[in-house]
Amino acid sequence: MFRTSTSFRSAASAVTAALALGFSSAALADDTELPRSMTWSSYDVGSAGYAEASAIADAFGKKFGTRIRIQPSGSAIGRLQPLISKRADFSFLATETFFASEGVYDFATRRWGPQDLRVIAGRPSSFGVFTAADANIKSLEDLKGQRFAYVAGNDSINVKCDAFLAFAGLTRDDVDAIMFPTYASTMSSLTRNEADASCTSTTPSHLYELDQSPRGIHWLEVPADNKEGWKRLKEVAPFFQPYKETIGAGISEENPVDILAYRYPMIVVRADMNDDQVYAFIKALDETYDIYKDATSVMKRWRLDKSGTPAADVPFHPGAIRYLKEKGIWTDQFDTWNNERLARLKALRDAWPKAVAEGEGKSDEEFAKIWEKYRTQALQSL
């Protein structure tokens, strides 16, 4: 069972940022125009996603005069809802993109189901379990019985943490799982000595604070040659791959760590977003690269030959593909991947109304079983 952190009731309120008041026109080099103002959603203030969205927003303002408002949220629903309801134009998302497109976890309820999302770009990222160095936790197996911090309402983080535990043959029942109210409070819980381990990407500001604190930071290795461990891990999180990271808190070229790779953040839009608007956005992302590339230690990974290629959590948007083809980045092999991903998403979206119809008048628990049946059938049909 989860314990609730003492800081739950004093969670920080949501923060918004108004950035980049600049030129009066938002025209790009070929006269394609960005909107004069946009709203983006992202992770909490202090997260890598928020920092990178802020850096790109600042670059858009400096070059094109576009005004950007960033709406941060510590929950998957909080980041997706503004996009789906058209209160946000673009979202800087993590693995909730996969969950939403698949209709799983938070998105398996009748209110949601598989969402028709597309990605514009997403930089390669890494993800790992970090511990307080003074906790003397040397391996994933050593997490048993330790205080492990989770984020309330954030399956994007929590499922990844579960995957690391699965690698070691553990579950949440094997650790002292403590639920914190926000991403920020979770990531800073080790510095406050309220937890001993958690999981995230390697560059959030909270982790650098832990590294400089008396407790220090230590990353747990995920050996690429442990086939049984990887089999268990992929049963929980199939989107992960082995990765040797050299950038992050307590990490360097001289002190690398073997952890996991995925895409974060991904710039995500609704499938019905206008092709020209997406084209203008990714063109602006490319044209402002030199402005934002040094904003954080990993911003160089936004270069389109890295961030504009599959695999990603959802299909790429046609407007993005058009620009990537013009740049010579998009290949026939990428088209094959994208078409297969589109077919998977269509199969799930076609199955959803059938599950909803069969589940009418039934309990949420019964509906969950009905949807799992239709979802399994849809995926087996591919």
pLDDT tens-digit readout, 333-370: 999 999 999 999 999 999 999 999 999 999 999 999 99
Nearest by Cα to 205 from 10, 329, 74, 50:
50
**CA of 88: how far to CAs of 123, 172, 271, in Å?**
21, 34, 14
Res 24 pLDDT > 80: no
- 298: its two tokens: 């990993």
What is the SS3 string spanning the chain? CCEECCCHHHCCCCCCEEECCCCCCCECCCCCECCCEEEEEECCCCCHHHHHHHHHHHHHHHHHCCEEEEEECCCHHHHHHHHHCCCCCEEEECCHHHHHHHCCHHHCCCCCCCCCEEEEEEEEEEEEEEEEHHHCCCCHHHHCCCEEEEECCCHHHHHHHHHHHHHCCCCHHHCEEEEECCHHHHHCCCCCCCCCEEEECCCCHHHHHHHHCCCCEEECCCCCCCHHHHHHHHHHCCCCEEEEECCECCECCCCCEEEEEEEEEEEEEECCCCHHHHHHHHHHHHHCHHHHCCCCCCHHHHCHHHHCCCCCCCCECHHHHHHHHHCCCCCHHHHHHHHHHHHHHHHHHHHHHHHHHHCCCCCHHHHHHHHHHHHHHHHHCC
Q: How far apart are CA 72 and CA 49, in angstroms?
A: 9
pLDDT of residue 156: 83
Res 299 pLDDT > 50: yes
**Where residue 30 falls among pLDDT bands split at 50, 70, 90?**
low
pLDDT of residue 238: 83
pLDDT of residue 29: 60
Res 81 pLDDT > 60: yes
pLDDT of residue 153: 82
pLDDT of residue 19: 36
**CA of 175: how far to CAs of 221, 242, 354, in Å?**
18, 24, 39
Res 25 pLDDT > 50: no
pLDDT of residue 32: 61
* Mean pLDDT on 58-73: 96
Q: What percent of the chain has pLDDT over 70?
A: 92
For the chain, the residue count is 382
Kindly report the backbone phi and psi dihedral angles of residue 113, in degrees, each rounded to the nearest multiple of 5, phi listed first: 80, 180
Res 195 pLDDT > 50: yes
pLDDT of residue 350: 98
* Mean pLDDT on 35-64: 95
Q: How far apart are CA 52 and CA 90, in angstroms?
A: 13
Task: Please give the radius of gyration of the chain, using alpha carbons only, rounded to the nearest integer.
Answer: 21
Res 10 pLDDT > 50: no
Q: How far apart are CA 255 and CA 65, in angstroms?
A: 41
pLDDT of residue 27: 65
Which amino acid, one-letter code, is at 253? Answer: E
pLDDT of residue 6: 44
Domains belonging to the chain, first-starting first, are 13-123+264-345 (3.40.190.10), 126-262 (3.40.190.10)
* Mean pLDDT on 300-319: 96
pLDDT of residue 31: 61
* Mean pLDDT on 58-84: 95
Nearest by Cα to 187 from 362, 376, 46:
46
Q: Who wins on pLDDT, 28 or 160? A: 160
Kindly report the number of other CB atoms within 10 A of residue 231's CB atom: 11
Res 105 pLDDT > 80: yes
pLDDT of residue 190: 98
pLDDT of residue 26: 60
Weakest-pLDDT range from 17-21, 52-56, 200-204, 293-297: 17-21
* Mean pLDDT on 197-215: 96
Q: Who wins on pLDDT, 63 or 16? A: 63
Q: How far apart are CA 259 and CA 207, in angstroms?
A: 16
For residue 126, the number of C-alpha atoms closer than 13 Å in the C-beta half-sphere is 26
Q: How far apart are CA 264 and CA 184, in angstroms?
A: 17
**Where residue 46 falls among pLDDT bands split at 50, 70, 90?**
confident
Mean pLDDT of the chain: 91
Res 261 pLDDT > 70: yes
List residues bridging with 92 in a β-sheet: 267
**Where residue 239 falls among pLDDT bands split at 50, 70, 90?**
confident
**Where residue 18 falls among pLDDT bands split at 50, 70, 90?**
very low
Res 100 pLDDT > 50: yes
Q: How far apart are CA 327 and CA 307, in angstroms?
A: 13
